[in-house]
Structures are given as structure tokens and as C-alpha cells.
């Protein structure tokens, strides 16, 4: 006879944690105030002062002049305040493609609080420094996905929360636009991962709770269970040992709820090599297994 084959751990659910929303347009362009591709008009609400507006130098208030609309570089139109010949204060820029920024300027740069509507309908609202999203802000995609949190130089950076159309969401740390550091991801089927990320990948230590109740706690590499870990099934079965590419590999022990256990070598998710099987009565026997099947008892 052979022991239960103990097939590979289902890796499909794990892959749902690799979601990554690109907060640039389809041509890879940053959301700086530069030409884009498609004309869209949108009436912007005027509550952007609530976004943590940069306090302008009060000594310049009396010197500001409101002009416009005036054509500026790239064929865009500007209507708003100037300090001398430079945009400074509140203003509106409408680009030839319909993309538009409404908010604060300092020294000819979008700096302070403002909203930028991309030509494709995506919207960023929040803080700006030198024409780039920088500080706190939120990005809303036309498909309904969103990010709200900290930004640096037009990239998600710091703490933030990302939500997808299917209801899955991530809350955690970002570096350079990618999930990096500790985070919590919850999928649309309620599977979840709490642990470390590197460059949008699960990397290091983490706990994954599957939709069917399985729980894996251990090491991850390239978004796969790899290294030392512990897996517990909803029916009480458990495995403690090593994994490689989402499968049991190396030394490990599998225990059944009725007291049976196998401790030994694994490969590709199955018993493979020398191991010790203990039956429900506590009797132990050493044997050799090949691809999940016992070949013979040893001694």
C-alpha cells in the first residue's frame, strides 16, 4: 500500500496577490503636466483647499495678478495668478489634449494642493511639488481602482492603500511605486496575506490564509512558498518543514488528525526518499518512498 499522495499546495490562489496597478498612462508617461493623448473635459470641484494646501507666502499676496487665459509652453492654456512673469498662486492649466490641472502654483511649478485630470479620465488629487505628485494624495482610475496614501516624485512611496475593482485591496508600505515592506493583501475571495513584500512580490516572512481555510506561515521567495514553513488545513492536517516553489520539498513532517504521521524527505510535494511512518496506534516504521509511494520498509 501507499500513503496518501499529498499533492502539491495549490499555488493559483497565491498568484492573486501579485496585483499591481500601474499609475502611469498606457504609453508609460508620468503624470507630470506634459502632453498626453486624448481630449477629455471635466468640471473640477473647488474643494481642493481641503487636501492640505501649501500655505503661500503672505508677503506675495498683494503682488499677485490674475490673468488669462494665456497660452503657455506646449500650447496649453493657463488662467490664474502670476507673480511677475511666473505662475504663482491659484491657477488652471488646460492642455491641448484636454488634460487639466487645477490647484496651486509656486515659482511657475505646480506646488501645493491640486487636481490633475488625465486625458484618459484618470484623476490624481493631492499634494504637488515641482509639477509632480509629492506628499499625500489619491489616484482614481476610470476602471474604479484607486490608490490613496503617500507619494514621492510621482510614485507611490510610503504608506498607502490600493483597491481594485474586484474588491481586493492592499494596505502597507511602498517604495518607488511598488509594494515594498510590510503589507496586508486581501483578495476578492477573502484569501489574505500579511507579511513582507519586495518589488511587488511576497518575499521574506508572511502568513497566507487561503479561501478554503488553509493557513501557511513561513518563508516566501518570488511570491511562492519557499523555505521553512508550516501549513495547516481546515480539517486538522498539518505539515511542518521546507517548501520550494509552493510545494513540500526537503525535510518535513506531515501529521493527520487521527495521529498518523510521516517525517522524512519530500520532493515536488510528495514523499520521496527515506522517512518514518507512524500509524494511528503509535507504531513507527522506517521506509523508502518514491514520488509519493512506499517502495519498501527498511528493517
Q: For residue 8, is it within any domain?
A: no
Rounded Cα distance, 264 and 273, in Å: 7
Q: Are strands 100-106 and 293-297 parallel, antiparallel or unpaired?
A: unpaired
User: What pLDDT score does 149 carry?
Assistant: 98
Q: Is 62 helix (H, G, I), strand (E, B) or coil?
A: helix
Question: For residue 158, what are the β-bridge partners?
Answer: 174
Q: For residue 219, is it within any domain?
A: no
> Whose grid coordinates read 515536488?
268
pLDDT digit string (tens) for the chain, length 299 residues: 333 333 333 332 343 344 444 433 434 434 443 322 222 222 333 343 344 444 445 455 568 888 878 998 889 999 999 999 899 999 999 999 999 999 999 999 999 999 999 999 999 999 999 999 999 999 999 999 999 999 999 999 999 999 999 999 999 999 999 999 999 999 999 999 999 999 999 999 999 999 999 999 999 999 999 999 999 999 999 999 999 999 999 999 999 999 999 999 999 999 999 999 999 999 999 999 999 999 999 97
Q: Quick one: CA torsion of 174, 29, 52, 144, rounded to 10 degrees? A: -80
Give the domain range for residue 47: 21-163
Q: For residue 294, is it within any domain?
A: no
Contact 80, 92 (CB under 8 A): yes
User: What pLDDT score does 57 carry?
Assistant: 52
Q: From the CA atom positions of the chain, what is the Rg in Å?
A: 28
Q: For residue 296, is it within any domain?
A: no
Q: For residue 150, is it within any domain?
A: yes
DSSP string, 140-158: E-TTS-EEEEEEETTEEEE
Rounded Cα distance, 179 and 195, in Å: 11
Rounded Cα distance, 220 and 240, in Å: 15
**Number of structural domains the chain divides into:** 1
Q: For residue 113, is it within any domain?
A: yes
Amino acid at each position: 500500500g501507499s500513503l496518501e499522495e499529498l499533492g502539491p499546495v495549490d499555488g493559483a490562489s497565491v498568484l492573486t496577490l501579485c496585483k499591481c496597478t500601474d499609475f502611469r498612462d498606457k504609453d508609460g508617461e508620468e503624470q507630470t503636466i506634459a502632453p498626453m493623448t486624448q481630449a477629455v473635459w471635466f468640471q473640477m470641484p473647488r474643494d481642493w483647499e481641503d487636501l492640505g494646501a501649501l500655505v503661500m507666502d503672505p508677503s506675495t499676496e498683494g503682488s499677485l495678478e490674475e490673468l488669462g487665459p494665456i497660452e503657455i509652453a506646449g500650447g496649453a492654456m493657463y488662467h490664474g495668478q502670476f507673480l511677475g512673469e511666473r505662475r504663482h498662486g491659484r491657477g488652471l492649466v488646460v492642455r491641448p489634449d484636454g488634460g487639466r490641472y487645477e490647484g496651486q502654483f509656486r515659482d511657475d511649478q505646480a506646488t501645493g494642493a491640486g487636481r490633475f485630470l488625465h486625458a484618459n479620465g484618470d484623476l490624481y488629487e493631492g499634494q504637488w511639488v515641482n509639477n509632480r505628485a509629492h506628499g499625500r494624495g489619491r489616484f482614481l482610475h476610470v476602471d474604479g481602482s484607486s490608490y490613496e496614501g503617500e507619494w514621492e516624485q510621482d510614485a507611490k512611496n510610503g504608506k498607502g492603500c490600493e483597491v481594485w475593482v474586484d474588491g481586493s485591496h492592499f494596505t502597507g508600505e511602498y517604495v518607488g511605486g511598488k509594494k515594498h515592506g510590510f503589507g496586508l493583501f486581501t483578495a476578492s475571495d477573502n484569501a489574505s496575506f500579511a507579511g513582507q513584500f519586495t518589488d511587488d512580490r511576497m518575499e521574506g516572512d508572511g502568513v497566507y490564509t487561503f479561501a478554503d481555510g488553509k493557513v501557511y506561515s513561513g518563508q516566501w521567495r518570488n511570491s511562492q512558498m519557499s523555505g521553512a514553513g508550516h501549513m495547516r488545513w481546515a480539517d486538522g492536517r498539518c505539515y511542518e518543514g521546507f517548501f520550494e516553489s509552493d510545494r513540500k520539498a526537503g525535510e518535513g513532517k506531515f501529521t493527520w488528525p487521527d495521529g498518523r504521521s510521516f517525517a522524512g524527505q519530500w520532493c515536488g510535494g510528495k514523499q520521496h526518499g527515506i522517512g518514518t511512518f507512524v500509524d494511528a496506534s503509535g507504531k513507527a516504521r522506517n521506509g523508502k518512498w518514491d514520488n509519493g509511494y512506499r517502495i519498501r520498509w527498511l528493517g
